[in-house]
Every structure is written in C-alpha cells, then in structure tokens.
Amino acid sequence: MKLVRFGAAGAEKPGLIDGNGDLRDLSRHIGDIAGEVLSPEGLATLAALDVFALPIINSDQRFGPCVAGTGKFICIGLNYSDHAREAGLHVPSEPIVFMKATSAICGPDDDLVIPRGATKTDWEVELGVVIGKTAKHVSKEDALEHVAGYCVLNDVSERAFQNERQGQWTKGKSCDTFGPTGPWLVTRDEIADPQNLSMWLTVNGEMMQSGSTQTMVFGVAELVSYLSDFMSLQPGDIISTGTPPGVGMGLSPQRYLKAGDVVELGIEGLGKQKQRCISYG
C-alpha cells in the first residue's frame, strides 16, 4: 500500500493511493497514519479494505508528512561509503547516530525555509524507515518485522550550524522544514529489497545526487537492530538512513541553497518530492 496524509498543514486526513494512482480517503476507517495503524495487524486491516469503495479525492490536494505521531527522528551519518569519501572522512566502524527535531518534519512539497543566519543550507536525499512495531534488543534477522514501511526524506542541513557552532550536528539538522517526508509511506511488503533502490536529487533541474541504497555501509535491518540496543523504537519513529554523494558541501567549489532554488528528489518505488526555497521572514 501507498499510505498518505492529505490536506492543510495540521489538519491532514489519512488516505491511500490506489492502483490507478488516484487518492482515496481513509478517514472513515482510521483517525490517522500513526500508532497502532502502523502495526502488522493495523496494516493487515487496511489491506483487507475494498480500495475502490473508498471515496476518491481530487488530485490537487497538498500531501502532508506521510506518518503522524513521530516520537523520534533518528538520523545516521556517513552511511554511504562514497559519501564518506567525498566528505574526506573514514567509513565508520559503527553507525553514527544523531537526532533531528520532530518539529522539522513537513510535507514533501512544502516550501523549504532557509533559516535566519544560515549561509550553507544543503540537501541530502535519504531513505526513510518508519517503525510499525516496538523494537527493543531485536536481532538483525528479525529487525524488518518491526518496520511498517519506507519513504523519501530530504535531510536538509545547515552546514554552518552543523560544523561551525561547536560541532553539534543536531543544530544544523533541526530547523523548521528541514525534514520533508513522503509523499507516501510505502508498506514493507511492496519493497522487495530496501538495499537495492536507486535515488536521485536535482537542484534547479541539475542532477546533484544519483546513487543507490546498495552502497549503504549499514543496511536497514542492521540499523534497526543496532538502534534497538540503545533505545526502544516505537510506532511512528523515523530512521533517516544516510545519503549518497553529491551534497553541496562535497562539491568543489561548494554550493549551497538560496531563495528561489528548487530541489527535487526521489527514490525508486517511493515517489518524489519538490521544494521551493524561501528565506525566513
């Protein structure tokens, strides 16, 4: 299934995309794409619905973040070997973990607001993993059973805040609108292998990132298992799994986003996003 949330910011309704690409309303059946709805039992209940009996919605709706009720937004740094090389850093021996504020989460096509004082706002296409069942000390072999599905993420980063303000990555990752999520939450059963998905990102139509989840250092199952040893992973939590090469910081000369720029990105089978950059205020 391709699950979505549509409507005005803060008032989104749950829906899904049917086999013809039409938006259908789920609000008579569930309150939101969150909590127990993301569990194996909740997803099985949705899968059993007669999709074509659901109300069809006009196509000009705004898509909100594809999952609600996110308690933790966990990011993995330098998780693509080719991205680590472009950053001039060693491939890590264990996952590098940092947090992104959940207030950064926004819709996939919402404006990207360059924050006040920012000078180095950068882009990062990433595979998002949404937890569906609580995970605590799970094995790598069982880890994917705790995943509800996958989505496209843009881990927008203000590099000056990240690297020049006493080394706190979270400060450079958590500004409002720095977490475009969606358009769809694609349930796990539709993705045969999360480690074999092509991904791309353009700025003003110019290809900047073109990669594959094949080059992840730590795959999805390993990340879920690893993280579950340090914290319980709960339904709606998001793991942003790292980015391939081609970020602005890695270019020579470096290049960063400015007001008026348009960022587009996508991942095979998971849809695409488009953000227009605007200045704060």
Sequence ranges of the domains in the chain? 68-279
Average pLDDT for residues 178-193, to the nearest whole number? Answer: 98
Q: Is the pLDDT of residue 168 over 80?
A: no
Which residue shows structure tokens 């709805």?
Answer: 37
Please name the residue that has the structure tokens 């504020």. Answer: 101
- What's the predicted TM-score (pTM) here? 0.96
pLDDT at 135: 98
- Going by pLDDT thresholds of 50, 70 and 90, the confidence category of residue 89 is confident
Per-residue confidence band for 83, with pLDDT thresholds at 50, 70 and 90: confident
* Residue range 183-205: mean pLDDT, rounded: 98
On the question of pLDDT at 85 being above 90, the answer is no
Least confident segment among 156-160, 165-169, 179-183, 198-202: 165-169
Q: Which CATH fold would you assign to the domain 68-279?
A: Fumarylacetoacetate hydrolase; domain 2 (3.90.850)
Task: Report whether 129 contacts 220 (CB < 8 A).
Answer: yes
- Whether 9 has a pLDDT exceeding 90, the answer reads yes
pLDDT of residue 166: 82
Q: For residue 230, what pLDDT band results from cuts at 50, 70 and 90?
A: very high
| Most confident of the ranges 77-91, 160-174, 245-259 | 245-259
Distance CA 110, CA 90 (A): 34
Judge contact between 257 and 121, C-beta under 8 A. yes
Exposed, middle or buried, 180 (CB in 10 Å: 0-12/13-18/19+)? buried
The torsion of the CA quartet 40, 41, 44, 48, rounded to 10 degrees, works out to: -170
105-106 vs 179-180, strand pairing mode: parallel
105-117 tens-digit pLDDT: 999 999 999 999 9
